[in-house]
Structure 1
Amino acid sequence: MNLITLPHDGIWAVVLGTMQDAGLPHIGCTCARCSQALHDLNQAAYAACLGIVIKRGSETAVTLIDATPDIKYQLGLLANPLGSHPTRLDRLRQPDAIFLTHAHMGHIGGLPQLGPEAMAVEGLPVYAMPALIDLLQAQTLWRPVLERLELRPLQPEIPIAINADCTITPIRVPHRDEWNAGTLAFRIQGPQRSLLYLPDIDAWDLWPQARSILVNVDIALVDASFFSGNELGGRAPVAHPLVTETLTRFADLSTRLMLTHINHTNPILDAGGHENQIMQAAGAELAQTGTFFQI
């Protein structure tokens, strides 16, 4: 996958991954899509992640939304904006901050890569809900990496300014919560555009303000794990809205609707396929790793 090179100064949102927590291929899966990705890494895809890059001349600041199991590849995509480590020129500089949406594997599973056995960051700010911070600190397994992080609590609806022109505001959303640690979406406001990043939600009906929030952003990257119940193979309904429902609810909005957090079973992954055409006809698009846009 090509390294990301931003064309000029500004504040940029960069798509660094679009898949459900396990990525593509999905571990242990022998379906045609996963088998192809296992044997041809050009077909592989990373877990959902977003980068915010502030570029000012030769200086950049890089913020990640979530620390996925694919974080080493995702930081590699940002090698140009990150630049070299100040004292180890054969290493990348660490990111400037990470914001965590919630406690599930695909969203915090990359944190150990920041620890002493791997990137060995120093004082990296990581923003999360207080209950998620407590959860991490309660597990001694996390201690080596936590000693290298600066954990900062988030409060819903209270914006964090990552520079003078860009804020990130956490918004609580309903999503299965085994540890009562909460789940967040993030509204990112730049000088030109606003963006909602919402990789996980249980159901739109459980979030009454969904439409009013989506209508008031320029771009929305939203949970599109499953296209329809046909993917579940007789299993009980899962805690994600179906793409068909998302398109019905929001296709009339002027907001640029981008679908992310795609399960490996989802047929919208097939370019030119029937379900992909339905998505496009509704005015939505499949988020693509490497895509960037100014905000």
Structure 2
Amino acid sequence: FAAVVGSVQDGGLPHAGCRCDNCQRAWADPAARAYVVSLALVDARGEQAAVYLIDATPDIKFQLEMVGEWLGPHPQRPQRINQPAAIFLTHAHMGHVAGLSQLSFESMAVQNLPVYGSVKLVGMLQETELWRPLVSQLDLLPIADEQTIVLAEGLSITPIGVPHRDEWGTGTYGFKIDGPAKSLFYMPDIDSLAQWAAAETVLNSVDVALVDAAFYDAGELRGRAAVRHASIHDTLAFWEKIDSQLVLTHFNHTNPLLNPAAPERAAVQAAGATLAETGMVFALD
């Protein structure tokens, strides 16, 4: 199964230094807080479950604890949980790689942990001096667009390139997960579905799609034009051509959909979309 272990934009909820309505509610009420967007893939069919994370977020220590039951105890350090089977990186932006620092010698101290990313993203991690001490503890593995990785019998993951702002030329992946009976596409970041030539083909090939919903509308954030993400209105309109279940994720802290009482939230749900929440599970068998 796949489990949502985070559903908000890179800075989390609340945002550092922010006093917007959503953040004030989250500062006041811990139940209103949310982790940075991430998905856990759990294969519990064997004697020991295998857990895979998509992205290494700033909240990774909490997200690992959420799946600790399936990770199990570390074989040499019984007071710790085991490390995940692998991490798959969508792209190089802060909220998707910053959690790698929690895997270092100073913290979780992983050993030979497989971390998959685009060829250029892996190269950047290997060549950046700041990451060099950590890189020796990881098994950095470059994967090409549409290169399927078989994780276990009946379970595979395939990166598929999507358009998203690309300051370093490292690209952005969505991940198609094929299970024994069902499939899922996970795409926390995209500039526009209309700009993605393969959108209809890919999204109609899966049962469920978790899709970038950072902003509700163009007027939500000052300087919004420079922070390119798919519009929720455009996504809902695009979905008239799509048969898979739409699950919205990667909400910016300013997004009214984060307010349970907001009329915008009710309208989006009435239009047929599901809003990702931590703990939400999607069966793949």
TM-score band by shorter chain is over 0.9
Q: How many residues align?
A: 284
| Residues 55, 96 of structure 2: 8 Å contact kept | yes
| Residues 214, 251 of structure 2: 8 Å contact kept | yes
Corresponding residue to 2:181 among 166, 182, 192: 192
What SS does the aligned partner of 1:277 have?
helix
TM-score w.r.t. length of structure 2: 0.96
**Equivalent residue letter for 1:164:** E
Q: Kindly provide the CA deviation profile for residues 50-77 of structure 1, in whole angstroms up to 9, marking residues without a partner as x.
A: 0000002541000000000000000010
| Residues 200, 261 of structure 1: 8 Å contact kept | yes
Query: Cα distance, 1:236 vs. partner?
Result: 3.0
| Residues 251, 282 of structure 1: 8 Å contact kept | no
- CA spacing shift, 1:118–1:178, aligned 2, 3 Å: same
- What residue in structure 2 maps to residue 104 of structure 1? 93
Corresponding residue to 1:13 among 2, 24, 28: 2
1:117 aligns with 2:106: yes
Give 1:141-152 correspondences, 5 Å limit.
Answer: 141-152=130-141
Query: Cα distance, 1:213 vs. partner?
Result: 1.1
| Residues 51, 86 of structure 2: 8 Å contact kept | yes
1:81 aligns with 2:81: no
**Equivalent residue letter for 2:23:** C
Query: Cα distance, 1:158 vs. partner?
Result: 1.3
**Equivalent residue letter for 1:250:** W
What SS does the aligned partner of 1:156 have?
coil
Q: Kindly provide the CA deviation profile for residues 215-251 of structure 1, in whole angstroms up to 9, marking residues without a partner as x.
A: 1110000000001112024653531011011011104
Instruction: Give the CA RMSD over aligned residues.
Output: 1.3
TM-score w.r.t. length of structure 1: 0.93
Corresponding residue to 2:232 among 243, 246, 255: 243
- What residue in structure 2 maps to residue 157 of structure 1? 146
- What residue in structure 1 maps to residue 243 of structure 2? 254
Corresponding residue to 2:119 among 116, 124, 130: 130
Query: Cα distance, 1:39 vs. partner?
Result: 3.2
**Identity in percent:** 50
- CA spacing shift, 1:234–1:160, aligned 2, 3 Å: closer
In structure 2, distance between residues paired with 1:159 and 1:73:
29
In structure 2, distance between residues paired with 1:33 and 1:186:
29
- What residue in structure 2 maps to residue 6 of structure 1? none
Query: Cα distance, 1:272 vs. partner?
Result: 3.9
In structure 2, distance between residues paired with 1:201 and 1:100:
14
Q: Which moved more, 1:113-122 or 1:275-284?
A: 275-284
Corresponding residue to 1:171 among 156, 160, 164: 160
In structure 2, distance between residues paired with 1:88 and 1:141:
28
- What residue in structure 2 maps to residue 45 of structure 1? 34
